[in-house]
Chains A and B, each alone.
Chain A
Amino acid sequence: MNDQEIEAKIRSMFEENYELMRLGGGRALSADVKNAALYQVLLYWRKMREVAETVTDTEVTLNLPEQITPEGRKYGIEGVVDIIHENNNRTVMYDIKTHDADYVRANTKEYEKQLNVYAYIWQGLRGQQLDQTAIIAMSYPNSVRDAIAANDDKLIIKELENWHPLIDIPFSQESVQETIRQFGEVVDAIESREFIPPPVDKLTTLLPGKKNTFAVQICRNCDARFSCSAYRNYARLSASKGDSPLKRFLEDFGSDLDPEDWRVSNLEVTLSPEDLEI
């Protein structure tokens, strides 16, 4: 199978997965967003093919049973590793994120916790040392996007060279026990049904590595925001004078798509040819 055939295959697999997900209750993506998703995979193949071609294991489910929370509940931790790569006696664990590299770099601490817990479980299960943990940040920069839009092959190659999606995550087992303890605390909180939303302060803070606040990035993508006390307080505080709070709420459809995109992209896939007749 040559490179072109593989790219063709990626496109057809992507379409198939997309259709399956849409039929399974997922909603439609607008044309632009769908294209961006397809390009994340295509560019992963072009840019990271050395990794892609030497994957030895993918989607590995890891289980750490027999844990006990601070309040004495038994539980287990589960995680899924995207890629295990073994080569020349070196074993590397990669996790794929659909975020951009800047975001991942700004949140290294969080990823460090996750990958090191995964590494801990993996080493325990396999009885084998890991050598490295890393993240592949799939969201490509605007320079690459523009090169694709311009359909300029040379420029695409040049911009791909300037793109560094592979981010090393410090491999250290020192804080693993601490992370597992925090995990246990969360399990206790879930089991004791503590479900109060975060305070308004958190909603107005910028997310590390993002230009958006928590409210814009997280809350506005949450269908349940309308009934959320924290979001209502936030909306009240940030409302301009004269707006009725109700109006403001309902007009903030601007989740990840404005109403027009939403309508157009869903209509396109919702209506079958017969439906298009009036």
Chain B
Amino acid sequence: MINALEALGLRVYAPRAGRFLEVDEAVAVFGIYLKIFGKPAKGSFGGTDYDDFHKWLDNCINVANTLIRQDLALAEYVKERQEEIKTVISDYQILLQVVEQNKWDLTQPYDIALMKRSLYTARGLSDAAKKSLEGSYFERVIKKRIEDGKPFPLSYVINASTSVDWSVLDLFYQLCIFEHFKAMFDAAETGTDEGPICNMSLITQYLARFTDEYASIITARFLSDNKFQATLFMGFLYSLFRLSESEYEDANDPFPKGRIPFLTIHQSKGLEFPVVVLGNARKDNKGPQEVERIVNPLINREGEPLDRMTSFDIMRMFYVALSRAKNLLVVAHFKGTGQITSEPFKTIFSGNIFSANVTRIPNFHMSSLPSAKEEINDLPKTYSYTSDYLLYQQCPRQYMIFRKYGFVQSYSQTMVFGNVVHKTIEDLHYLLMQRGEKL
């Protein structure tokens, strides 16, 4: 059915239909990450999850290869990042050799006068590492630390000069330059489709979690021996894969605009739609669950009798299914060998009620269907003067991405700055008010 709708150009949204990591957006983004950081080798140990995960990795790479073939700039970008990683790793090894030759200890304090020259002039060191070693800001911080009696160890200086300039989250935002990803933002801006942007937002949330837990800075030391690759793919993403976390869900706004939602009957509880299709009118009564069988005799209460419990459950479920539609409910009526229709549909389809209330599709006139109205949510929402009104006025697009869809920002000093100042002033006021009360 999903395929049939998509063939007509109608997009669908099927939460829990698969793992989040299997949605197109995640496959494309992590495919590019795999191209940049390299794909972890598959171990000989088996297990279905492990095999599935490696199939997922392969699929990501295939998709990334296609994207790269279609976009020369993206190909260039990926190549540059690969080169950059190679360079920092090579710089790191060169600097470690200098340390070894001079018989320095990595934990000893960094001594500018003694060490800087030897490190800086090491043969084969890249310009980027040189620039970092002689950076004026860096030197100022180093001197300040010495003054404060907390000098940096040599290892710190080496790590700092052999790190890449970006975090995995920065990488994500940079990737959005390329047409394939930019199109997802464009679709959300114009309100045509918000499915992809919801999933992109969830990717930033996962990447931010990774950044917080493992590394906001990617050092050459971390990149060496495929440690970073193993942490990101085999540690972090493999765990996500096994958890089978599902697609983006927003409790206030459960369905992305522009998509036909596919829901289980349980998921649809409490919701209403102009048109509902019940894909299957069959629910077999397999008797009560084992746990009910065990627990039922033990609890002394008047409830539903054990032998009728399942049929009651099925009735409740169909009640939910049948009461979601506002204008039109379409029920699939399968016929043929092996097809079973459960009650109450069996009666409805064959009995007198059928002719009175239900029409077969060939006899149905679309003109009799009331047109669907977009409902304005009756529950009033509260909007903040500063973080809604002023932010939207500043830039509607920025508002959409960070406030509405909850993308995690990669780095914002401005925000941390404002928050820490406001919070401390608030604390100061409370302190002074308390003091005032004591006087």
Contact = CB atoms under 8 A, between A and B. Distances in A.
Which of B173, B398, B416, B424 has the most A CB atoms < 10 Å from its CB? Answer: B424
Q: How large is the interface on B (under 10, 10 to 19, 20 to 34, 35 or more residues)?
A: 35 or more
Which of B176, B380, B381, B395 has the most A CB atoms < 10 Å from its CB? Answer: B395
B433 A190 contact: no
A158 interface: no
Contacts of B216: 27-28, 266, 270
B383 A77 contact: yes
Contacts of A45: 428
Contacts of B433: 55-56, 58
A253 B396 CA distance: 23
Interface of B: 73, 76-77, 96, 106-107, 132, 135, 137-138, 141, 144, 153, 155-156, 158-160, 163, 165, 169-170, 173-174, 176-177, 181-182, 185-186, 188-191, 194, 208, 212, 215-217, 219, 221, 257, 376-378, 380-386, 388-390, 392-402, 404, 407-433, 435-436
Given A13-B424, A189-B396, A262-B165, A226 B177 contact: yes
Interface of A: 1, 6, 9-10, 13-14, 17-18, 21-22, 25-31, 33, 36-37, 40-41, 44-45, 52-53, 55-56, 58-59, 63, 65-67, 71-80, 82-83, 96, 98, 114, 117-118, 138, 183, 186-187, 189-198, 218, 221-224, 226-230, 246, 249-250, 253, 255-264, 266-268, 270-271, 276-278
A224 B173 contact: yes
Contact of B189 (A25, A195, A255, A256): A195
17 contacts: A13-B424, A21-B419, A27-B216, A28-B216, A31-B141, A33-B417, A76-B382, A78-B383, A187-B383, A191-B376, A195-B397, A197-B189, A223-B410, A227-B173, A229-B186, A249-B174, A260-B132
B422 A193 contact: no
9 tightest A-B contacts by CB?
A: A227-B176, A74-B380, A195-B400, A197-B397, A76-B382, A58-B429, A79-B385, A193-B191, A259-B165
A216 to B, nearest CB: 13
B396 A41 contact: no
Contact of B155 (A190, A194, A277): A277
B156 A222 contact: no
Contacts of A77: 382-385, 389
A63 to B, nearest CB: 7
Contact of A260 (B138, B212, B390, B422): B138
A226 B174 contact: yes
B411 A278 contact: no
A78 B385 contact: yes
A223 B407 contact: yes
A274 B411 CA distance: 25
B424 A267 contact: no
Given A53-B436, A76-B380, 16 more contacts: A13-B424, A14-B424, A22-B416, A25-B212, A26-B415, A26-B419, A27-B411, A29-B420, A75-B381, A76-B381, A76-B382, A79-B384, A226-B174, A246-B77, A256-B413, A263-B165
